[in-house]
Amino acid sequence: MERVIIIRYAEIHLKGKNRGFFEHVFANNLERSLRGIRHELHRTSGRWLIEKFEETRTEEIAERISKVFGVHSYSVGYLIGSSMEEIFEGAKLVAPHEGTFKVETHRAYKQYPLNSMEISAEIGGRLIETYPALRVDVHSPQHTVYVDVRENGSALVFCAFGEGAGGMPVGTSGKGLLLISGGIDSPVAGYMMAKRGMTVELLHFHSYPYTNEGAKEKVVSLAKILSPYTLVTRLTTVKVTKIQEEIHAKCAAELNVTLLRRFMFRIAERFAKEHGLQCLITGESLGQVASQTIEGLTSSNAVVSLPVLRPLVGFDKEEIILRSRKIGAYETSVLPFEDCCTVFLPEHPAIRPALSFIEEEEGKLNVQALVEEALATAEKIEF
């Protein structure tokens, strides 16, 4: 009898003949999430088992795997033999000693001499004899003892399901570049694309000395919060101070943010193409701020050829905040440090600027030289 953690995957079982590829990536991601913890990972017909780990680290392991995309649910339980005596001994370890309960059995091994209802009845009866304060309630029990009879002569017993992150394993849906700010929205956008299996690299723009080191450290903290989900351990920062100063000095004030966004997209696309990334990802939500009108989004899209993914485009702020809290990023996102978009912020930014006007004002700048100068400031931060 051995303490194990049982992992069930989510959408992978729908992948037919390609399932092997998804399972391979999923297993690699589980191993990455458990780096530094002694364990063994084994597959058993639609389940993964974590074995041979220190029981004092059970909660830490559960916390880590709950953030791995592809995990539907997990349970802490016992791996035992499949005889009724062994199943009963395992059931005693997870069963309550009082209150209402039921036993629920699943048989992957259909040739087992008893069917699921017979196993449940037998184990339930033995538990009542052992713990007289227990009462059976098959409709609304306080506790459930789960028995899973496997095909290889083993069984699993456990008493609860932990919720996994769901989605698809990171690394199965291409590679994207997240434009991460210090705000609430962009970390949530990165989380959502990683949940669909995309490998998400991180790029941050700063305006030092107008923004300080604390603002950059805040973004590093957000990247670390995202890391268990995205499995990324690197952030690249690019300085756009010179670009903002040039826009502020030479262009219409109401276009400060719109023009800056176009530069960010150009720089991000160059970076993405140089690093084999296939799309850009932003935290933009339609109509949330002046630069996120359809005209503003169209203006940004116009300067790049890569797809731009905006997973939050139809969300309102409360929905985004809810997801930010769920992933543990909200408290860091609201720390009072300015990001580069607040530098030279006009009193009345353009809401629906004409593309012809934007291009006319942008013509006052040496766009290519400014992009090259910004890219030369790129700094990689490993964490």
- DSSP of 231-253: ---EEEEEE-HHHHHHHHHHS-G
Q: And the tokens for 252?
A: 């219409």
- pLDDT for the residue 257: 92
- pLDDT for the residue 262: 97
- pLDDT for the residue 99: 97
**Domain 2-163, CATH number (from 3.30.2130.30, 3.30.450.20, 2.60.40.1180, 3.30.70.3400):** 3.30.2130.30
- pLDDT for the residue 103: 98
- pLDDT for the residue 106: 95
- pLDDT for the residue 5: 98
CATH number of 175-382: 3.40.50.620
Q: And the tokens for 50?
A: 């974590």
- pLDDT for the residue 179: 98
- pLDDT for the residue 29: 97
Predicted TM-score (pTM) of this structure: 0.92
Distance CA 204, CA 197 (A): 22
Low-confidence ranges of the chain (pLDDT < 50): none
- pLDDT for the residue 362: 97
Domain boundaries, the chain: 2-163, 175-382
Inter-residue contact 260 to 299 (CB < 8 Å): no
- pLDDT for the residue 343: 67
Distance CA 191, CA 170 (A): 10
Please provide residue 67's backbone torsions phi and psi, each rounded to the nearest 5 degrees: -105, 5
